[in-house]
Chain A
Amino acid sequence: MTSKLDLIIKPAFSRAYIRIVMGNRVWAEVLTDSMLPVLSLAAYVYTYYFLGASSQYVGFVILGGAMLAFWSNVLWSVGSQLYWEKEDGNLETFFISPASKMSLLTGMAFGGVVNTALRVIVTIAVGVIVFGVHFDPSQIPEALSVFGLTVIDLYALGMVFSSLYLLYGREAWHISNLLTEPVSFISGLYYPIQFFPFWLQALASLIPMTLGLDILRRMFFNGSTILSESLEVGVLAIMAPVLILLAKFALDYMEQFSKREGRLTLRWQ
């Protein structure tokens, strides 16, 4: 007899398992996925060299690049995943099974975190070995906590986006595509957002990546601690449950709405 708990845990585990095995079974692919983003990041580093920026900006680029990898994964492998499933013809199966949809999304998110983390290690290693970025080792445990919290928030945000795909097709795809550059700009992936006007800084703070990067930069390059950044860390901590609840609400609502509209399993929209 399958218990309710099984219907939450097993689908999450299965979906994460598929994603992790599928994403890492070909080592050549893991290597190329890890190395290729470094080429673009290196261009950003040389741009700062060209501009005569101080060495900490190279660290900003490496941290930003690491976070960008997670953000891209959130957009394309969690936020848009239900689009792929719909086009593949799997979505119907997900919806007629008694499994919790939230647990499926959690499994996808967990698998995505593992896969992306494996690739981001290469980015950080290149930053340290090739570009000489120095991350204070004493800050690493606290920084990892902040990084983890930021990543949880980002994936929860991705789960909110995913509900859009139940109703929309190419429209939602284009929204995902559109979100890459503006969010990278507003969240200050490669520079501190202190150069923004106050209203834009406030708006940017609604994106977990902005807060997470800001704290991490101050921890690694200005010697801050979790305690001294408690306000921003607190906001990040509050965002996670709020976004997860929002994702649950959005998923339930959009499921009903798209069923009424007859678009839940409509392909090639």
Chain B
Amino acid sequence: MAIEGWRGFKAAVWLGWQIDSNWTDIFLFSLYTIIKPVFGMLTFAFMYLAATAGGPIDPEKLAYILVGSSLFTYAGNAIWNSFFAVHEDKEHYMTIRYLNIAPSNFTLYYLGRITPSVLFSSTISLIINLAVGVFLLGMKVDPTSQTTAYLLVSIPIVALGIIGYALMVVGVSFFTTRYLWSLVDGLTGLSFLLGGVLYPPTVLPPAIKWISQIVPWYYWIEMLRSPIIGSGAGLTLSFILLGAAFSAAFLVLGIWFFNWSVNRAKRDGTLDMVISW
């Protein structure tokens, strides 16, 4: 059983890698992988320069924005790629019915299918983004043994939460097609606005800033950003526990919702419904 699951997962990883990368050679693919997020981050760097009118740089504020934007791009790409994997299988290549009737585990298949984009494309671009921020833009990062420990604890907690979140988005894509793009855009936009990605929630108007406290992204981004920029000591135990609680809840809900969605899609006949292509 476990061996079969592993074989299915491995095959899905290979398939995901081929679909992501075999349209060009590895050099061009690597360049493509790097350019998009780096330019995204440069946009925020120049917003900073414009706002301060070329005056003295506050390295901490700059780091707050650039690390926040890079982390959000990373997570956003992972979620976008998860949803798009279903879209491709269902609507473009029309292979989803065969994947579903195959003996391999359907959940493991999608986890495998998105692993290359998360591990290779997104992780490498995140590392390069941080390097560009530090070496070219003067961004301040200050890892110490204490903040590194915080980071090592935070990474798996946040990763599990994001996997759960992605599984929920993937689940929705099994039974809807027309509104899915809007849904993904809407969730991303809301998280970007309220999740404390580029600014602390205190900047938001009083009427909406409390919402940030119930947006998981606020905890997930902060749990990774604070240790990177050196303010990890400010993370309280209750803050980390709340982040972990969100992760656990999203993971459990994500797995349940994924399976429920597959069953509902089969019942409604939407699992392999093609309307976009």
Contact = CB atoms under 8 A, between A and B. Distances in A.
B193 A48 contact: no
Interface in A188-223: 188-192, 195
Contact of A171 (B23, B178, B200): B23
Nearest to B205: A46
B156 interface: no
B2 interface: no
A29 interface: yes
A48 B47 contact: yes
B189 A37 contact: yes
A43 interface: yes
B35 A181 contact: yes
A181 B36 contact: yes
A237 to B, nearest CB: 28
Contact of A40 (B24, B93, B189): B189
B47 A51 contact: yes
Nearest to A53: B51
A46 B198 contact: yes
A188 B49 CA distance: 12
A48 B50 CA distance: 9
Given A53-B50, A181-B36, A195-B49, A88 B186 contact: no
Contacts of B92: 87, 268
Given A53-B51, A171-B24, A185-B42, A47 B198 contact: yes
A44 interface: yes
B189 A47 contact: no
Nearest to A52: B51
B239 interface: no
Contact of B277 (A87, A171, A184): A87
Nearest to A168: B23
B130 interface: no
A50 interface: yes
A48 B43 CA distance: 13
A144 to B, nearest CB: 26
B103 interface: no
Contacts of B178: 29
Contact of B197 (A43, A178, A188): A43
A184 B37 CA distance: 12
Interface SS majority for chain B: helix
A36 interface: yes
B210 interface: no
B193 A43 contact: yes
A180 to B, nearest CB: 8
A42 B92 CA distance: 33
Nearest to B23: A170
Interface in A51-74: 51-53, 57
Contact of B192 (A32, A39, A84, A178): A39
Interface SS majority for chain A: helix
B271 to A, nearest CB: 20
B61 interface: yes
A174 interface: yes
A139 B137 CA distance: 38
A177 B204 CA distance: 31
B120 interface: no
A182 B203 CA distance: 28
A51 B186 contact: no
A49 interface: yes
A53 B32 CA distance: 33
A174 B47 contact: no
Contact of A36 (B61, B182, B200): B182
B142 interface: no
B244 to A, nearest CB: 26
B182 A32 contact: yes
Interface in A131-182: 169-171, 174, 177-178, 180-182
B14 interface: no
B54 interface: yes
Given A43-B197, A46-B199, A50-B200, A36 B186 contact: yes
Given A40-B193, A174-B24, A268-B93, 20 more contacts: A29-B179, A32-B182, A39-B186, A40-B192, A43-B189, A50-B200, A53-B52, A57-B51, A169-B23, A177-B36, A178-B32, A181-B36, A181-B40, A181-B43, A182-B39, A190-B47, A195-B46, A195-B49, A195-B54, A268-B92
Interface of B: 23-24, 32, 35-37, 39-40, 42-44, 46-52, 54, 61, 65, 92-93, 178-179, 182, 185-186, 188-190, 192-193, 197-200, 203-204, 277
22 contacts: A36-B182, A36-B185, A36-B186, A39-B190, A40-B189, A42-B193, A43-B197, A46-B203, A47-B44, A51-B52, A52-B51, A53-B52, A170-B23, A171-B23, A171-B24, A178-B35, A180-B36, A182-B35, A182-B36, A190-B43, A191-B49, A195-B46
Closest 3 CB pairs of A and B: A39-B189, A53-B51, A191-B50
